[in-house]
Structure 1
Amino acid sequence: MRRDELLDAAEELLRDQGSDALTLAAVAERAGVSKGGLLYHYGSKDALIKGMVERLIEDFDDLMAAEPGETYTERYLGATLTAIRSGRLRRYAVVTGASGNLFLLAPLRDAMARWHREGLDQEPDPLASQIVRLACEGLWDVASHDPELNSDEELQALEARLKALLEPPS
């Protein structure tokens, strides 16, 4: 059993049943492995949550690196919409699992600070860039709760409007 499959099972459990349901036994059962098999990869519930947090950060960083765009905020918008369209909406489940443990949430808080601060001083309009990044957070959060809310056409319209905000003032 690969680590990603175990993390997927934990995230699905969090998404479907909430943080109270996240036990090592429940994750092992959902993943179809023994509890010992899970413990081989993740020695504790905290280690499992830490793995989910690390994967979430790595996944978004990878999306950011892969997205074309001239500015950091253009890449941020593209990465967010790629995550939404592909169903890579792990953030809600991960935060739910880590809630109540500031130590486990610290890497995610650090990544969020980095994602929201990086490159702002190099943007044509830093305030517009900050607005777009915050709008991305809202889109991601809402899509985590209701993935069917926006059709692809609606997401395209939102993307176009947000990109228009990033155009340098005339």
Structure 2
Amino acid sequence: MRKDELLNAAEDLLADQGAGCLTLSAVAERAGVSKGGLLYHFATKEALIKALIERLIADFDELVAAQGQASYTRSYLAATLAAIRTGRLRRWAVVTGAAGDPQLLAPLREAMCRWHREGMQTEADPMSAQIVRLTCEGLWDVATHDPGIYDEAQYEELHRRLLALLSPL
């Protein structure tokens, strides 16, 4: 079994039953493998959570890169809206909720700092870019707790208005 399939099983378990039910035995059962098969890839629960977080970061980095926008922050905004619209945001909530140890979230904190530094260093108006990226994080949080809070027209309007903040001064 591939690591991604095991990580998918862990995410599904988290989404269905919460962080309290995340055990290596439960993940192995959900994935349809022996516990030994899971341990071959992930020796501890912490290693599994670390891999889940690293996958989230890589997934978002790929999503940003795939946007092909004129600026980093425009790509960041488009990637955020794509993650919300496709349901990929669910992964953030379930995985970060499982990381009870703040040290497990260290790679995510580092990625957030990197994402913010990138925009601060490359944008014509760094402060407006910072406002847009912070708004994106607020959208992540709101959409995680209530995925249906905004309809497509509202997301389009948010997108339009946030892009207007990024227009040259």
Please state which band the TM-score falls in when normalised by the shorter chain: over 0.9
Structure 2: state its 5+ residue gaps: none
- With normalisation by structure 2, the TM-score equals 0.93
CA shift for structure 1 position 56: 0.5
1:45 equivalent in structure 2: 45
CA shift for structure 1 position 76: 0.5
Structure 1: state its 5+ residue gaps: none
CA shift for structure 1 position 139: 0.9
Structure 2 matches for 1:1-170, cutoff 5 A?
Answer: 1-89=1-89, 90-99=91-100, 101-169=101-169
**Letter of the structure 2 residue corresponding to residue 28 of structure 1:** A
- With normalisation by structure 1, the TM-score equals 0.92
**Letter of the structure 1 residue corresponding to residue 31 of structure 2:** A
For 2:4 and 2:83, locate their aligned partners in 1 and report how far apart those are by CA, in whole Å: 17
**Letter of the structure 1 residue corresponding to residue 156 of structure 2:** Q
Identity of aligned residues (%): 62
CA shift for structure 1 position 72: 0.9
CA gap of 1:119–1:135, structure 2 versus 1, over 3 A, is closer
**Letter of the structure 2 residue corresponding to residue 92 of structure 1:** A
Number of equivalent positions: 168
**Letter of the structure 1 residue corresponding to residue 84 of structure 2:** I
Q: CA RMSD in A?
A: 1.3
CA shift for structure 1 position 158: 1.0
| SS in structure 2 of the partner of residue 5 of structure 1 | helix
CA shift for structure 1 position 21: 0.9
